[in-house]
Amino acid sequence: MIIAIDGPSGAGKSTVAKAVARTLGFSCLDTGAMYRAVAWQALEDGASLEDAEALGRIAREREIAFFHDPGDPMPKGVSIGGQDVSAAIRTAEIDRAVSPVSAVPAVREALVAQQRRIGRSGDYVVEGRDIGTTVFPEAPVKVFLTASAEERAHRRVRQNVDRSVGSIDYEEVLADIRRRDEVDSSRAASPLRPADDAVHLDSTGRYIEDVIDEICALAREKGAR
């Protein structure tokens, strides 16, 4: 079974997706990490972020792999071309580079094909922006998870403080979140939008455990154990 979780950055998708997967015994696929890995490789290769052809070639030809601890269905990290980039894809530099990279149709085509291949190999919680609309439109459970831009900015600042990376200036982070929302929702290729049959969940001011329980209940209604 596929559980699709889409929504803007900072809505809590990763936390929720991992917890739902652990509760139900599913694996988890973080599709944003794949776009980030392509952006990392482009910067590494010195490719221009405007060179759609070069970016498409990277997405088609460099193998992206998720690696696991033995017996654990939850991925521990991600590599591209054999190089572990788990930490390197979480920097502010990649935050900036990934939007233009993910807007390139050839990049999306290559990564969507890989996502379908991975997802069809088992039970997966798949998080991203276009999972319910494009990658797995037949998914029995689709969630569109949102939170106010202000709440997402507060969460991001806390996260940046904890990880000692990125800006800890609330206004700057809020402006960046609004800019990324605009880019992700207005791009021509697979813009961020809810699937018609998605359940909308707003995590603003809610305990994350309640959101997790609600998604697990939806999945159980569709036959997950």
Q: Which DSSP category does 134 fall into?
A: I
Q: How many CB atoms lie within 10 A of CB 89?
A: 24
Label residues 110-131 b or e (16+ Cβ within 10 Å = b). Answer: bbbebbeebbeeebbbbbbbbb
Contact 192/6 with Cβ under 8 angstroms? yes
Q: Which listed residue (37, 38, 129, 155) binds ligand DC by CB under 6 A?
A: 129
Residues 32-71 vs ligand DC: string with x where CB under 6 A? x--xx-----------------------------------
Angle 21-24-30 (CA atoms, 0-180°, nearest 5)?
15
Q: In the complex with ligand DC, which residue's Cβ is closer, 9 or 146? A: 9
Q: In the complex with ligand DC, which residue's Cβ is closer, 150 or 221? A: 150
Q: Which listed residue (16, 17, 19, 31) binds ligand DC by CB under 6 A?
A: 31
Q: In the complex with ligand DC, which residue's Cβ is closer, 27 or 102? A: 102
Q: Which stretch binds ligand DC (CB under 6 A): 27-35, 53-61, 117-125, 198-206?
A: 27-35
CB of 157 to ligand DC, least distance (A): 16
Q: In the complex with ligand DC, which residue's Cβ is closer, 120 or 220? A: 120
CB of 209 to ligand DC, least distance (A): 21
- The verdict on 9 binding ligand DC (CB under 6 A) reads yes
Residues 64-103 vs ligand DC: string with x where CB under 6 A? ----------------------------------xx--x-
Q: How many CB atoms lie within 10 A of CB 217?
A: 10
Question: Which residues make beta-bridge pairs with 3?
Answer: 125, 141
Which backbone phi and psi does 168 adopt, to 5 degrees?
-115, 15
Q: Which listed residue (4, 130, 139, 155) binds ligand DC by CB under 6 A?
A: 130
Output the six-digit token pair for 220. 């159980």
150-153: list long-range contacts, CB under 8 Å, 24+ apart: 150/174, 151/203, 151/204, 151/205, 152/8, 152/9, 152/10, 152/11, 152/177, 153/10, 153/177
CB of 15 to ligand DC, least distance (A): 12
- Three-class DSSP category at 168: coil
Contacts to ligand DC by CB under 6 A: 9, 31-32, 35-36, 98-99, 102, 128-130, 180, 184
